[in-house]
Amino acid sequence: MKREAQVLKGHLDTLLLATLAAGPRHGYAVKEALRQASGTRFDLPTGTIYPALRRLESAGLVDGSWSVVGGRRRRTYALTGAGRRRLSGDRTAWRDFASTVTSILDAVPCRAT
C-alpha cells in the first residue's frame, strides 16, 4: 500500500483535475469524489488535497471562488481552460503509457518459480 501511495502521489494533479471535470467542487468533495470513484481504494490524506488545490490554482489550472453555504464560507474550484487542456493531455499520455506497460506484461509468459 505504501508503494501505491507513492505512485499515486505522482498522479495527484491529474486525479484532482479529473474530479473537477464533471463540474466545480469544494476541497472535501474532491477528496470524497476520488474515494468513491476509486471504489474507496484511494483515500488520500485530506491534508494533501487542500494545499495541492491551491498549487493548481496558482499554476492557473483551476480557479477558486467563494460562496456561502449553510452560513459558512466555502471555496469551490473549477477547471480553467488551461486545466482542461492539461487534463486531456494527461489522459492521452496515461492511456499510451498504461497500454504499453500492459502489452509488455502480457507478452512475457507468467511463470511461477
Partner 1 sequence: MPGDLISTYLGELSCRLPADITEEIADGLVEACEQHRARGLSEDDAARAAIAEFGDPRQLAAEFTRHAAGRRTARIMLASGPAVGACWGAALIASRAWTWPVPAGAKIAFGCLLLLVIGALASAAGSQRSYRLTRLAVPGGIGLIMLDLTMITTALLAAPAVTRVLAIAISASLTRVGLGARFVPRVIAR
Which residues sit at the interface with partner 1, rule CB under 8 A? Answer: 26-29, 32, 45-48, 50-52, 54-55, 58, 69, 72-75
In the bound state with partner 1, the residue whose beta carbon lies nearer, of 36 and 102, is 36
CA-wise closest residue to 80 among 65, 95, 67: 65
Which residue in the block uniquely carries the three cell numbers 483535475? 17
CB 97 to partner 1: min, Å? 26
CB 111 to partner 1: min, Å? 43
Cβ atoms of 79 and 20 closer than 8 Å: yes
In the bound state with partner 1, the residue whose beta carbon lies nearer, of 82 and 98, is 82
In the bound state with partner 1, the residue whose beta carbon lies nearer, of 39 and 45, is 45
